[in-house]
Amino acid sequence: MSTMLYVDDESGGDLLATITVFTYSGAKLLEVNNTARQQKTGIDMSGLPGGMNFVETRRKSGKVGYLKVLKVR
């Protein structure tokens, strides 16, 4: 089983700037800056606690999106 979460940027010109992982209660667990401007960004979830987490994607333009991710221990 893989513990990597991949975020694939299909927006065209509005690249992802940061990807942040939060716990269900809102505590920040991890933040990844997309300084290399990669189209596909991988996040290693192995060190994060199990349970429901939220992933925030923030674009260069300021647009924000959210994903729910369930990590099984």
Question: Tens digits of per-residue pLDDT, 21-60?
Answer: 999 999 999 999 876 777 788 888 888 888 999 999 998 8
Distance linking the first and last C-alpha atoms of the chain: 11
What is the C-alpha to C-alpha distance for residues 18 and 38, in angstroms, rounded to an integer?
A: 11
Domains identified in the chain, total number: 1
Predicted confidence at residue 11, as pLDDT, reads: 66
Position 1 pLDDT exceeds 70: no
Residue 65 sits in a domain whose CATH number is 2.60.40
What is the C-alpha to C-alpha distance for residues 28 and 12, in angstroms, rounded to an integer?
A: 28
Strand partners of residue 33 = 18
Predicted confidence at residue 41, as pLDDT, reads: 82
Question: What is the span of the domain harbouring residue 25?
Answer: 4-71
Q: Mean pLDDT over all residues of the chain? A: 86
Structural tokens at position 57: 């994607």
